[in-house]
Structure 1
């Protein structure tokens, strides 16, 4: 993608008009009716958003007076009565394969107006990964880092049966290059506090393989590879449009190779070429992940409440989750 030479990867977020004289003087209440256990609305404010006239609350007594209500997919079993004119927002960071059993029902058809997900077409675009250029690039002895590496691929994984069938891909890959597997699907990692960082001292590559092959679906499996302490080159298998999110020459895509065998041959060649290998690490170290997820989407929701450019609509949630989003793996033959 040629435009990755632009100044900041944060441009992947939709650009919103700044708060100014034409902004609504109205304040908006956003009720997080069903909140995931890992997110606290109290930890978020709108001070850094383009529109700052929104308030986030968990107080369900404000249901009838809130302009928008968010329901995270893991956190509700039943829905309340919906006040007229209220915007209901379906939130998830999981792929359809991990949400469809809960929402394959006519009871939810037409209930939701907007979405807040990892997908770019959500009103609340909440990507796992938002990269920006570092102000200060780490100073490292890259030659020493390279010389200390004695192994090729590391992988930490806990879900051993996936839609993406990544386990079959790795099984085939391991016929042609060494792959050390850790976690529930492999051997225990002796470095409990930060296993990835420790493994990056001895291994050249890391498998950032997603459990689902869906558009825009790139998770922490690749995002945390841009931690400057992790001196791997990530190998990415996931969203077919991964190049929309990741800077060139900082990762390797499995989809660029006809087979795991062809990938293994390339990795061996790259691992033997000190100059070329180090160039990937240096390029990756120019960027950092600024942690997107739901916080990024909340700014978008406030924006849409202000500008009201969205035509009134309701969503067939099951159709929205699936239509033209995911594909079955076609890079392995079992």
Structure 2
């Protein structure tokens, strides 16, 4: 059973190892369901938990934007499993899974490169963040041009196709997350792997981004001691046609297949329900959210 999670109608289990699970949002079945999935912002209080029922905590947000939704005492010894972007979740639901094209797109990469007249673009709506990305960009802007759009910058006249159009004139895009947490990689990074988008992502977020992204398809701020050193590398790469195009071609070999949806992990949940005795546990959710997960930036000084 789900509560405030997603529309169950398109969810089927025909591609799962086990096909005997069913999802419902019928609240009349809350006390009789074998398991209940709670989205992190779908409840202000918890119902009485029947004996033997599995409670699953689901979120695609980082701990910074999850923990302030409810009281801490609600989280102690209530939940059994988790469903999130984290690899250690019982229902692993990454924002995206990059797949490789059978055949790489055919593009005139020289023309794409020569049409670019600007360096860095950024579309952003949250102006103050735990990752202090806004401070990083302020420092970066001292050494390379950065055009900022969205609520924290100037309006983008292209609306929904903003990034696509910006990629025609800009060489790089700031795929900066609001939090620096393990496994936390949202659409800010992964949608740049749309083949209609012709610039390179500069990644700042999960310290283990390399576990998800193919090498030579992105630039990571963690590889540079400071924004100044990153800017120097961007100037070098952006002025080298051969090397820049090699990055862009490599990026275009991949595409995003998920687009941020919790239902990806539903097969994992169904599997565990069929073997639930092997996965029996109760978790301290506050500890699970925070322990060894997030860090503050160490490459900027504010």
TM-score (ref. length: structure 1)? 0.88
State yes or no: 1:124 paired with 2:94.
Answer: no
* Contact 1:125–1:300, Cα closer than 8 Å, also in 2: yes
**What residue in structure 2 maps to residue 50 of structure 1?**
17
1:213 pairs, out of 180, 194, 198, with 180
**What residue in structure 2 maps to residue 4 of structure 1?**
none
**What residue in structure 2 maps to residue 290 of structure 1?**
257
| C-alpha distance in structure 1 between counterparts of 2:117 and 2:139, whole Å | 21
Q: Which runs of 4+ in 1 moved over 4 A?
A: none
User: Number of aligned pairs?
Assistant: 301
**What residue in structure 2 maps to residue 83 of structure 1?**
50
State yes or no: 1:71 paired with 2:41.
Answer: no
**What residue in structure 1 maps to residue 293 of structure 2?**
325
Deviation at 1:309, TM superposition (A): 5.9
TM-score (ref. length: structure 2)? 0.97
* Contact 1:118–1:293, Cα closer than 8 Å, also in 2: no
SS at match of 1:170: helix
* Contact 1:87–1:114, Cα closer than 8 Å, also in 2: yes
**What residue in structure 2 maps to residue 175 of structure 1?**
142
Moved more, 73-82 or 43-52: 43-52
**What residue in structure 1 maps to residue 129 of structure 2?**
162
**What residue in structure 1 maps to residue 190 of structure 2?**
223
Note the alpha carbon deviations across 1:278-311, whole angstroms, 9 max, x for none: 0111111111111153121111101111233644
SS at match of 1:56: coil
1:146 pairs, out of 113, 116, 131, with 113
| C-alpha distance in structure 2 between counterparts of 1:104 and 1:329, whole Å | 27
Deviation at 1:332, TM superposition (A): 0.3
Note the alpha carbon deviations across 1:36-66, whole angstroms, 9 max, x for none: xxx3121221122222221111111112321
**What residue in structure 1 maps to residue 3 of structure 2?**
33
SS at match of 1:201: helix
SS at match of 1:239: coil
1:301 pairs, out of 269, 273, 281, with 269
SS at match of 1:234: strand
**What residue in structure 2 maps to residue 21 of structure 1?**
none
* Contact 1:222–1:234, Cα closer than 8 Å, also in 2: yes
| C-alpha distance in structure 1 between counterparts of 2:8 and 2:148, whole Å | 37
Structure 2: give runs of 5+ residues left out of the alignment. none
* Contact 1:129–1:245, Cα closer than 8 Å, also in 2: no
Deviation at 1:312, TM superposition (A): 2.0
2:64 pairs, out of 92, 97, 119, with 97
Q: RMSD value over aligned CA atoms?
A: 1.2
* Contact 2:46–2:74, Cα closer than 8 Å, also in 1: no
SS at match of 2:55: strand
| C-alpha distance in structure 2 between counterparts of 1:287 and 1:273, whole Å | 23
**What residue in structure 2 maps to residue 134 of structure 1?**
101
| C-alpha distance in structure 1 between counterparts of 2:279 and 2:272, whole Å | 11
